[in-house]
Amino acid sequence: MSEARREEFDVGGGVQLVADVLGDGDRGVVLLAHGGGQTRHSWSGTARRLASEGWQTVAVDLRGHGESSWAADGDYGIDRFATDLVEIGGRFSDRPHLIGASLGGLAGLVAESSVAPGAFDSLTLVDIVPRTDPSGVAKVMGFMNASLEEGFESLEAAADAITAYLPHRPRPTDLSGLNKNLRRGEDGRYRWHWDPRFATGVRRGRDGHDVDALEDRTTAITIPVHLIRGRLSELVTREAAEAFVSKLPNARLTDVAGAAHMIAGDRNDVFAAAVIAFLSALDG
C-alpha cells in the first residue's frame, strides 16, 4: 500500500484543513473526523485497515487542531465544525461515509440533522450521542484543561498524565508517537496540538447547547447510522445509546468490550472490524 498523501482543504475564513488521504477508493470515500483535542493521526490504524479493504480514507485535522489553521475569530462552535465537514465532503464526486469520534461525531449529527441533511452516505458515531453523561464530560474537559497553559516539561511527563487519565491502557514504551499530538514551544515545553481557545469555545457551546432540540432533529436522519460505544465509556451510558438508536429509522449499535471513550485507541482491531462490517453491508 502506498503512503498517505497530504492534502489541504480551504473551508473559508482563512482556515485550511490538513488531511491524510490513503487508498484508491474503489468502494467509496470515508471521511474520518477525530475527537476534541486529538489529531488526524488518531485514525492511522483504522485508515490503513479501511484502505486495505478498498476504501479511500480522508483523515482530517479539524479546525484549531494538529496542522490545520487556528480560527482567527476563535469560532469553534459545533455548527462551524459541522459546516467544515460538509465543505470537505462536497469536494468528492460521491457522498462520503463519515466516521466521527466524539466532537467529530457530534459535528456529523449536526450536519445531517440541520446543516446539510444528506451530505453523507452513512454516519458512524464513535462514543457520542446528543445526551452525554455530565460527569463524563467533566472528566474529559478536566483532562483537556489540565496543563493547558503551562504544558509539560517532557514527553515522559505528558505520557504520565495520559496514563493517569487512561489507567486501563498500557503506558507506551515508545513515546515518539506523542510528538504528533504535542507541539514544542519556544520555551521548550510541550503543549497539546490544538488552539487553547477551543476549550473555551467548547465550554461556551455546551452552556448554550439545546440537547432536547438536537435529539428531536436527529430523529429525522434517514441515512444509515452506526453508533459504536465503548463498554467502559464515561460519556455514553448503555441506556443512552439504546435510547438514541431506537429513535432513528435506520440505526444500529455496537458495544465494544474493553474500550472506554477513545475506542479506536483502546481496541482498534475490534473497532475497525465493526466499521468494515457496517460499511460492507451497505455495499450489498
- Per residue in 169-185, pLDDT tens? 888 788 888 888 899 99
Phi and psi of 63, rounded to 5°? Answer: -55, 135
How many whole angstroms separate alpha carbon 62 and alpha carbon 120?
Answer: 17
Tell how far CA 173 is from the center of its chain.
25
Domain boundaries, the chain: 5-133+210-283
What is the average pLDDT across 32-50? 95
- Residue 257 has a pLDDT of 96
Share above pLDDT 70 across residues of the chain, in percent, rounded to a whole number = 96
- Per residue in 218-243, pLDDT tens? 999 999 999 999 999 999 999 999 99
The residues facing 164 across adjacent strands are none
Q: What predicted TM-score, i.e. pTM, was given to this entire model?
A: 0.93
Q: Which long-range contacts (CB under 8 A, 24 or more apart) does 148-153 make?
A: 148/191, 148/192, 148/196, 148/199, 149/196, 150/189, 151/185, 151/189, 151/190, 151/191, 151/192, 152/182, 152/189, 152/190, 152/191, 153/188, 153/189, 153/190
What is the average pLDDT across 72-77? 91
Asked if pLDDT for residue 208 goes beyond 60, the answer is no
Q: 5-133+210-283 belongs to which CATH class?
A: alpha beta
Share above pLDDT 90 across residues of the chain, in percent, rounded to a whole number = 75
- Residue 267 has a pLDDT of 94
Asked if pLDDT for residue 207 goes beyond 60, the answer is no
